[in-house]
Amino acid sequence: MTKSLKELILAAEFAAIIAVLSQFTFPLGLIPLTGQTFAIGLTATFLGKRTGTVSVFIYLLLGLIGLPVFSGMTGGIGVLFGPTGGYLIGFIVQTWLIGSIMEKVGSRYPIVLSANLVGSIAALCCGMLWLMISSGLSLYTAFLSGFLPFIFPEAIKSIAAASIGMFLKKRLSHFRSFRIKE
């Protein structure tokens, strides 16, 4: 099995994991609290920048073509232009940032945790800005409704994503280096 095929398979598997964890939703005003960002952090921690970002693109493409993979079993291009669209785009930024920081600085736990926190904040900023634009809110109102309530939950999800991602990376390292002799 070639490395690129193995990466695509892992990316597709993690896109499915993101889709499943996205269905864990807790209503919290205009923007729900979901398992998506935990899944994004886990994906980036385990797969890294390149394959993790491909996984998020697969997930977003599945949702954009109408499959109900976004939170609340929603899908379609309308979701991208709704109030949560910025968070979805922010997932790309989040994954890329987490993977980039890990590639450049290393993958010791404090670094991975910091990378997950930075990535989560970046995704929240993207979401908050899009919420402001799409809903016609002031920056202050968008901050109060689309950023501030999510800081503590995102910190918890970042800790969990970094911890579980590092654990899986150590325990499943043989899957990442598996080769079939031809």
**Class at the top of the CATH hierarchy for domain 3-173:** mainly alpha
Q: What is the pLDDT of residue 25?
A: 85
In this model, does residue 99 exceed pLDDT 50? yes
pLDDT in tens, 29-76: 667 788 999 999 999 999 999 999 999 999 999 999 999 999 889 999
3-state secondary structure string, the chain? Answer: CCHHHHHHHHHHHHHHHHHHHCCCEECCCCCCEECHHHHHHHHHHHHHHHHHHHHHHHHHHHHHCCCCCECCCECCHHHHCCCCHHHHHHHHHHHHHHHHHHHHHCCCHHHHHHHHHHHHHHHHHHHHHHHHHHHCCCHHHHHHHHCHHHHHHHHHHHHHHHHHHHHHHHHCHHHHCCCCCC
Kindly list the domain boundaries of the chain, sorted by start residue: 3-173
What is the mean pLDDT of the segment spanning 86-111? 96
pLDDT bucket at 174, cuts 50 / 70 / 90: low
